[in-house]
Structure 1
Amino acid sequence: MKATTMILLMAAFALGACNTVEGVGKDIEAGGEKVQETAEEVKKDM
């Protein structure tokens, strides 16, 4: 029973970590898009 519990806990932790990494990736991507938009606006105004 201990082995089963440990496996379930490890699986839950792994799935939780994947969702966290995916969320961070989306945040970084959104930040990069904003930087790109701002750079394009500055270039257009020059």
Structure 2
Amino acid sequence: MSFRIDPRLPLTGEVRRILADEIGRAISHLETAREKPEQGLHKCRK
């Protein structure tokens, strides 16, 4: 997956934004893993 960093904004803020998004996705996949463990864990590890 590629990420878009806005060169006009501070780098630390952009990195935090990207990490927050990725962590949010991982948490979402782990919540799915409660119902479908194989599918949720596979997506989380991606």
Q: Number of residue pairs matched?
A: 30
Tell me which of the two structures has the higher relative contact order, counting C-alpha pairs closer than 8 angstroms and 6 or more residues apart: 2
- When Rg is computed on C-alpha atoms for both structures, the one with the higher figure is 1
Instruction: Return the TM-score normalized by structure 2.
Output: 0.56
Unmatched tracts of structure 2, length 5 or more: 1-6, 38-46
Unmatched tracts of structure 1, length 5 or more: 1-12
Correspondent of 1:21 among 15, 27, 39: 15
| Percent of residue pairs bearing the same amino acid type | 23
| Structure 1 residue ranges, 4+ long, deviating more than 3 angstroms after superposition | none
Instruction: Return the TM-score normalized by structure 1.
Output: 0.56
More helix by share: 1
